[in-house]
Homo-oligomer: A and B are copies of this chain.
Amino acid sequence: MAPKLGIIAGGGDLPGLVAAACRAQGRPFHILALSGHADPQVIGDQAPQDWIRLGEAGTGFERLRQAGVAEVVMIGPVRRPTIMELAPDFRTARFFARVGLKALGDDGLLRAVASELESEGFKVVGVDDVLSDCLATPGPYGTVVPDEQAQADMDRGIQVARGLGALDVGQAVVVQQGIVLGVEAIEGTDNLLRRCGPLAREGLGGVLVKLKKPGQDRRIDLPTIGLTTLREAAAAGLRGIAIEAGGALVVDAKALGAEADRLGLFVTGITPC
């Protein structure tokens, strides 16, 4: 049997999906939910769980150990914490003394947390270990495919997303007719799409390209694509979305394909060279 999985849960639906997948696979699990980030309704009251503040790393490690957890997955977005949430316990303070407060909110923080977990003897695994069928696949979801203009916009988007990723800034770019309408920093993809809508010229298409950063650790921060992003892309007047095959999570591929067809947009997994 697979070892007991610790699910360190941030926001959104994904922690619930991981728990459900564990149940379906008969794999034991224990949730360590981050209060103020994890959604109690998603976590439910049936699953074995502990709740901690972000600043309570010491307690968190202890709870995971008490629950007999061997492998750990970190899943669900954690927005930038307030100072109050962070009020660090001894273990957290030692952590920050080493990595520095300025790592906060950056990819650097997640990477540091992952190696901290490993130093405590936990093995950090990627969510795709549990939700393997959620990893984006190459080719279209649904029946709509990119036309020539969309393909050209995707190429430009890949070039810019790569460059941004190398700078450890965002992962997402919106391009219309070769013009970069917007690039993502920490505001999130849905906010990016909302502001690009009014900047886009009507009827000229445009695409959202979302890649993982070069060297990004798949275990800790895989971009997710779902119905909300698809609908925001449609509302912004875009023609479709390109995500990195093997580098993004698609929560419900069937529903995503169906909604893409309904909206007349393409969603496609690409393998940028």
Could you list which residues of chain A lie within 8 angstroms of chain B, going by C-beta atoms?
80, 82-83, 101-106, 152, 159-160, 163-164, 166-167, 169-170, 174, 177-183, 185-187, 191, 195, 199, 201
- B179 engages A105 (CB within 8 Å): yes
Which of B104, B169, B180, B191 has a CB less than 8 Å from the CB of A185? Answer: B180
Distance, CA A183 to CA B178, complexed state (A): 18
Distance, CA A108 to CA B83, complexed state (A): 45
- A159 engages B163 (CB within 8 Å): no
A167 smallest CB distance to B (angstroms) = 5
On whether A104 and B182 interact (CB within 8 A), knowing A160-B169, A169-B160, the answer reads no
- A186 engages B195 (CB within 8 Å): no
- A182 engages B185 (CB within 8 Å): yes
Interface-central residue, A104, A159, A169, A170, by most chain B CB under 10 Å: A169
Residues on B with C-beta less than 8 A from A183 are: 164, 169-170, 183, 185
Smallest CB-CB separation from A161: which chain B residue?
A: B167
The 5 closest A-B pairs by CB, nearest first: A102-B178, A163-B167, A180-B185, A182-B185, A169-B180
Distance, CA A82 to CA B82, complexed state (A): 44
Distance, CA A135 to CA B182, complexed state (A): 28
Distance, CA A248 to CA B11, complexed state (A): 42
Residues on B with C-beta less than 8 A from A167 are: 159-160, 163-164, 180
Residues on B with C-beta less than 8 A from A169 are: 160, 180, 183
Distance, CA A104 to CA B185, complexed state (A): 25
Residues on B with C-beta less than 8 A from A174 are: 185
Residues on B with C-beta less than 8 A from A164 are: 163-164, 167, 183
Smallest CB-CB separation from A201: which chain B residue?
A: B80
Smallest CB-CB separation from A170: which chain B residue?
A: B183
Which of B152, B166, B185 has a CB less than 8 Å from the CB of A163? Answer: B166
Distance, CA A182 to CA B195, complexed state (A): 13
- A185 engages B177 (CB within 8 Å): no
Given contacts A104-B179, A187-B199, 8 further A-B contacts (CB under 8 A): A80-B201, A164-B164, A167-B180, A170-B180, A180-B186, A181-B186, A181-B187, A195-B195
